[in-house]
Structure 1
Amino acid sequence: MTATLAANIGLLIIRLVVGLTFVGHGAQKLFGWFGGAGVSNTGEWLESIGIKPGGKIWAIICGLFEFVGGIFFAAGFLTPVGAALIVIIMIDAIISVHGKNGFWLTEGGCEYNIVLIAITVGVALTGPGDYVLSFF
């Protein structure tokens, strides 16, 4: 296997796993799929942690950023846009939930959020590789 082929397959694997995971998280918030809470319950939770007013509106925005960002990232279509949407959500998660708990995930910290930011920014800067959906 050539280095170029291996890099393209590696980027595809990263994009699919990270991107489709975010699609799933967005679907949990927007549609209640995959055991998710849906817009109403996610909105109530957001308000319970101090994101007021408009918890439902923020649930929709978060869900859309995750869902659309994940689709773009996984497809390798508008990869920097998809990465930016994911990064925005992860920064929000750090600020509103995980940051106060320190770094380590075992303490509810922001470790995983930072890893996801690094992955998405790294792929956005490197490029999505050759195996992408292209509409042009």
Structure 2
Amino acid sequence: MEDLGLLIIRLVIGLTFVGHGAQKLFGWFGGTGVSKTGEWLESIGIKPGGKIWAICAGIFELVGGLLFTTGVLTWLGSSLIVIIMIDAIITVHGRNGFWLTNGGYEYNLVLIAITVGVALTGPGRYSLFYQPF
């Protein structure tokens, strides 16, 4: 059951990040694509090069999500997700306090804890990179 639980966590969190990356990079799933995401990043003070940062964020989310989902190099996928979440806390949510109801970083911190916990535990048997200890 532990392996099934890890699979569920990896699928939900990982595929969500794949989707977020695809929104930023390709405008899929109702996303804004690189240009509009870059404009938004510049509007919140990330200058110059909002488009470059949008591409970086999209790649981190897409690749991090794929690695986390598949259980291949789970530690690396988790690290990419953690970097994006720390960036979101620093640039957007941190100034709003902890609680999500105020636009705070509560959810970002939960995602960090989940991905780090799975990386430390291992991806489980139902992964493309199962390696029993």
- Report whether the alignment pairs 1:86 with 2:81: yes
Deviation at 1:133, TM superposition (A): 1.5
- Report whether the alignment pairs 1:128 with 2:123: yes
Deviation at 1:88, TM superposition (A): 0.1
Aligned match of 1:39: 34
Work out which of the residue numbers 15, 23, 26 in structure 1 matches 2:18: 23
Work out which of the residue numbers 105, 108, 113 in structure 2 matches 1:113: 108
Work out which of the residue numbers 9, 13, 33 in structure 1 matches 2:4: 9
Deviation at 1:115, TM superposition (A): 0.1
Determine the C-alpha separation between the residues in 1 that align with 2:59 and 2:114.
Answer: 20
After superposition, give the CA deviation of every residue in 1:19-58 in whole Å (9 maximum; x if it has no partner).
Answer: 0000000000000000000000000000000000000000
Determine the C-alpha separation between the residues in 2 that align with 1:98 and 1:68.
Answer: 23
* Structure 1 counterpart SS, 2:118: helix
Determine the C-alpha separation between the residues in 1 that align with 2:18 and 2:128.
Answer: 16
TM-score normalized with structure 1 length:
0.94
List gaps (5 residues or longer) in structure 2: none
Point out 4+ residue stretches in structure 1 off by more than 4 angstroms: none
After superposition, give the CA deviation of every residue in 1:33-84 in whole Å (9 maximum; x if it has no partner).
Answer: 0000000000000000000000000000000000000000000000000000
Deviation at 1:124, TM superposition (A): 0.3
| Structure 2 counterparts to residues 56-67 of structure 1, below 5 A | 56-67=51-62
Determine the C-alpha separation between the residues in 2 that align with 1:30 and 1:88.
Answer: 17
Determine the C-alpha separation between the residues in 2 that align with 1:84 and 1:128.
Answer: 14
TM-score normalized with structure 2 length:
0.96
* Structure 1 counterpart SS, 2:46: coil
Alignment coverage as a number of residue pairs: 130
Determine the C-alpha separation between the residues in 2 that align with 1:12 and 1:45.
Answer: 34
Determine the C-alpha separation between the residues in 1 that align with 2:32 and 2:89.
Answer: 20
What percentage of aligned pairs have identical amino acids? Answer: 78
